[in-house]
Structure 1
Amino acid sequence: MAILLVGASGATGRLLVEELLNAGQQVKLLIRPGSKVPESCLHNQSITLIRSDFQPINPEVISGCESVASCLGHNPTLKGIYGQPRKLVRDTVRLLCEAIQKTNPQKPVRFVLMGSAGVRNNLLKEPVPFAQQVAIGLIRLLVPPHADNEQAAAYLSRQAGSSVEWVVVRPDTLTNETKVSRYSLHVSPVRSALFRPGKTSRINVANFMSRLLTEDVLWEKWKGQMPVIYNEEF
């Protein structure tokens, strides 16, 4: 069986590919036409590269996959932030879930979505200070990718369907490190993502996502939740 990954050309997605390959997994990469992937992905027998515009997603892409992961995000440019498609992540999550349903899997497919600590888990009615509510409201209006991430998490948690089990991984401020380090996992944020943010290295996010996709005990612990991940401070 294989793991399907979207967003493999991004900074965290590339690291997730490496983590999955190091774990001995077969990986399918669903890539938009024109997106670049590392040269090493083009000649690796453990990787299947599928180019598609995601409109719609052919259920055959999901066939043979027990798990799906998304590290998809908007490019940090004016066009990427304010241009179309505004709902890239949410729409891709929806299309993937619809494709999964059409395959009628014998057991639910694992779906791991990379979100952010600024996305509230409304299933838990997480308390948010008033000042942060106001600030998040402004960000929601002025920075479309944040609203996209919120709606993607909401869709996965409420509308994914019976053929999908899910986890939304919520890192705080992302940093670039070369090695996996110790990290802590929390049901809800223990810091303010706006006023007292923590740090989370991309490689730690990739490591945790890979483990969720491949370790049954860890999956059973976190499925149906939105764990927040921080680098441990020393």
Structure 2
Amino acid sequence: MKTLVLGASGATGRQVVEQLLLKGQPVKLVARSLASLPESWNTNHQVTIIRVGISEVSVDEMAELLSDCQSVVSCLGHNLSLKGLFGKPRNLVAGAVELVCKAIEKNARQQAVKIVWMNTAGSRNNDLNEKQSVAEKLVMALIRVLVPPHSDNEKAAGFLRHGVGKNHAGIQWVAVRPDTLIDEEKVSEYELYPSPVRSALFRPGKTSRINTAHFMARLATDNDLWNKWQGQMPVIYNKTH
């Protein structure tokens, strides 16, 4: 069985694919453009590339894509451009979450499909009553209005928490929340918490993309780790020494 990776052309998504391949996991990719994908993937028999934009995929088409996959890993996000931040689709991430879940339900397989979704440390898990200061609440209210991608991430998390829940017969999920993403060449030590241990606005931590990818790939392939975090929104930070 394979892992379907969404957002594989992005900086973190590419790292996810590489980490899965290092674990010997066959990977299926959905990408609109092949230009940003490594050339080596085109000749790797462990990689299947479907050239299409996620917003163009129907529920039936997604169900077919998932027919031989036991997990979905997504690093979908909005491009940091005016069009990416304020253009359509506004609900790229939340829409993709709902699409994948509807497709899984349509397939109605006996074994639950795992969803590993990259979110952000700025998105709260209200199941845990995560605290925010008055200043944080005010700033976050402005960000929701002025930065549509943040609201999109919150909607995606809300759909997993309420639309799917923790006891769905066919869908299990983990929403991974890195803090400020940085580039590093190698996997390093990192720390995992159920909730943020620092303010994502006023005292943010750092999380390398490769560490985020490493953790997400482990979730997709390590059942013990999965059982520890299933139905939760773990926050990941690079370990500071």
Matched ranges for 1:1-234 at <5 A:
1-32=1-32, 36-54=36-54, 55-57=57-59, 58=61, 59-160=63-164, 161-234=168-241
Q: Which amino acid aligns with 2:2?
A: A
CA distance in 2, matches of 1:15, 1:53: 20
The one-letter amino acid of 1:210's match is A
Please list every run of 5 or more consecutive structure 2 residues that lacks an aligned counterpart in the other structure: none
Distance 1:230 1:8 in 2: 22
Give the TM-score of the pair, scaled to structure 1: 0.97
RMSD of the alignment, in Å? 1.2
Deviations 1:60-113 (A, max 9, x none): 100011100110000111110011111000001110111111111111100000
More helix by share: 2
CA distance in 1, matches of 2:120, 2:206: 11
Shift of 1:35: 6.5
| Counterpart amino acid of residue 20 in structure 1 | L
Structure 1: how far apart are the matches of 2:35 and 2:145? 28
Count the aligned residue pairs: 234
Identity of aligned residues (%): 54
- Deviation, structure 1 residue 125: 1.8
- Does the aligned pair in 1 maintain the 2:30–2:53 contact within 8 Å? no
Alpha-carbon displacement from aligned partner over 1:142-196 (angstroms, at most 9, x marks no partner): 0000000110111112213531100000000000000000000000000000000
One-letter amino acid of the structure 2 residue matched with residue 212 of structure 1 = L
Residue 33 (structure 1) shift:
5.3
Give the gaps of 5 or more residues in structure 1: none
CA displacement, residues 179-217 of structure 1 (integer Å, 9 cap, x when unaligned)? 000000000000000000000000000000000000010
AA at the equivalent of 2:7 = G
Contact kept, 8 Å, 1:112 with 1:213, in 2: the verdict is yes
